[in-house]
Amino acid sequence: MKIKEIYQLAIEKGISKDPRSPEAVQKLLEKENKSYNEMKEDEKKEYDQDRLFNPYGDTRVLFGDPEQEVARVLAGVDMETGEVLLADRISQRGRKIDLIMAHHPEGKAMSALYQVMRLQEDVLAKFGVPINVAEGIMASRISEVKWALMPLNHNRAVDAARLLGIPIMCVHTPADNLVNDFIQSMMDERKPETLGDVIKTLKEIPEYAEAVQYNAGPTIVLGSKERRAGKVMVDMTGGTSGSEDAYARLVTAGVGTLIVMHIGEKHRKEAEKNHINVIIAGHMASDSLGLNLFLDELARRGVEIIPCAGLLRHERKE
């Protein structure tokens, strides 16, 4: 596969499992194209052209020739300067790395992470929060994340890859969409009665079963094994954690249990105040599952995958 084909496939897979409908995503892209066409020429020069066809600002080819053929990928959750050096070392030992693939965004994809957070508005609306309320809840949180990202040193890993001549890309929200859909579909189908049943169901998935061996498997942080789960919401996409103001709205909408990758203390306290059960599925395990669902598509097309940097690789043949 060529790098550009891998990139396009990531976008397609992300849209196919987006919590919004493909039609809704397409409408957003049409608005983006209309906005671009109305820009002045100097504005167009500064514009990221990928936004015209890619709705995920946190997913980009960061360095490399899009036409380059890829036979082997070094993939991981966090691919930073150390992992770039690892790719170079593996290549020196005879297994040439054609592409570094990170899950968590680097470079300009990291600085644009806040752009994908509006996806969370639609997720909240899907679970019964009025869209006007969802947009109001998310507005201040999106601004908060945007300002927090500005002082970061975004390009360290990308600069290292450029100096060593190794292409690098990141696949963030598309992979998160895949894991979110996978877990939500499983919960909707199984309808686990208790939190213990939710944990048991999660541990049937190889990535979570392996994470248990590292003391990083699914854990109940609010509630108990005997407590009834009620309506289960999986919250694993949309860039990063949303607003803590959402919990009061979610309980009113009938959500009983949240399954998340991770949760901060402010969010945990708000969930507890509103009597919402919370299960942390596990950060690395959840990111691994989402990335694996995409990497399996590459493996079926003959690309060799070398996992590292926290990626618990389990291949699904079908």
Give the model confidence (pLDDT) of 53-62 as tens digits: 999 999 999 9
pLDDT at position 37 is: 95
| Domain count along the chain | 2
Q: Is residue 318 part of a domain?
A: no
Identify whether residues 258 and 271 lie together within a single domain: yes
Scanning the chain, the segments in alpha helix (DSSP H) are 3-16, 22-37, 41-46, 81-92, 107-111, 119-126, 131-149, 156-164, 173-190, 195-202, 206-213, 246-252, 265-273, 283-300
Q: Is residue 236 part of a domain?
A: yes
What tens digit of pLDDT does each residue of 196-249 get?
999 999 999 999 999 999 999 999 999 999 999 999 999 999 888 888 899 999
DSSP symbol at 256: E
What tens digit of pLDDT does each residue of 162-192 get?
999 999 999 999 999 999 999 999 999 999 9
pLDDT at position 23 is: 93
What tens digit of pLDDT does each residue of 1-22 get?
999 999 999 999 999 999 999 9
Q: Is residue 79 part of a domain?
A: yes
CATH classification at residue 269: 3.40.1390
Distance of CA 69 to the CA centre of its chain: 25
**pTM for this model (two decimals):** 0.95
Q: Is residue 25 part of a domain?
A: yes
Identify whether residues 93 and 220 lie together within a single domain: no
Identify whether residues 120 and 267 lie together within a single domain: no
Q: Is residue 314 part of a domain?
A: no
Q: Is residue 317 part of a domain?
A: no
* Structure tokens given for 241: 């954690």
DSSP symbol at 113: G
pLDDT at position 242 is: 83
Q: Is residue 315 part of a domain?
A: no
Q: Which of 48, 62, 57 is nearest to 146 (CA)?
A: 57
Q: How far is residue 276's CA from residue 255's CA, in Å, rounded to a whole number?
A: 7
pLDDT band at 317; cut points 50, 70, 90: confident
**Type of residue found at 256:** G
pLDDT at position 240 is: 84
Q: Which residue has the tokens 């402010």?
A: 266
Identify whether residues 143 and 197 lie together within a single domain: no
* Domain range enclosing 62: 3-172+286-308
Q: Which residue has the tokens 């992992």?
A: 83
232 beta partners: 257
Q: How far is residue 173's CA from residue 55's CA, in Å, rounded to a whole number?
A: 10
Q: How far is residue 45's CA from residue 60's CA, in Å, rounded to a whole number?
A: 18
**Type of residue found at 235:** D
pLDDT at position 243 is: 87
**Residues, the chain, total?**
318
Identify whether residues 132 and 92 lie together within a single domain: yes
Identify whether residues 156 and 185 lie together within a single domain: no
DSSP symbol at 100: E
Identify whether residues 34 and 144 lie together within a single domain: yes
Q: Which residue has the tokens 């500064």?
A: 46
Identify whether residues 190 and 168 lie together within a single domain: no
CATH classification at residue 56: 3.40.1390.30
Yes or no: say if 154 and 80 are a contact pair by the CB < 8 Å rule. no
Identify whether residues 73 and 118 lie together within a single domain: yes
What tens digit of pLDDT does each residue of 262-299 get?
999 999 999 999 999 999 999 999 999 999 999 999 99
Asked if residue 73 has pLDDT above 90, the reply is yes
Q: Is residue 93 part of a domain?
A: yes
* Structure tokens given for 212: 């248990």
Identify whether residues 188 and 221 lie together within a single domain: yes
pLDDT at position 24 is: 92
**Type of residue found at 113:** L
Question: How many CA atoms are closer than 13 Å to the CA of 24, on its beta-carbon side?
Answer: 12
Asked if residue 318 has pLDDT above 80, the reply is no
Identify whether residues 52 and 11 lie together within a single domain: yes
Positive or negative, the CA dihedral 83, 152, 7, 2 is negative
What tens digit of pLDDT does each residue of 100-151 get?
999 999 999 999 999 999 999 999 999 999 999 999 999 999 999 999 999 9
Identify whether residues 131 and 186 lie together within a single domain: no
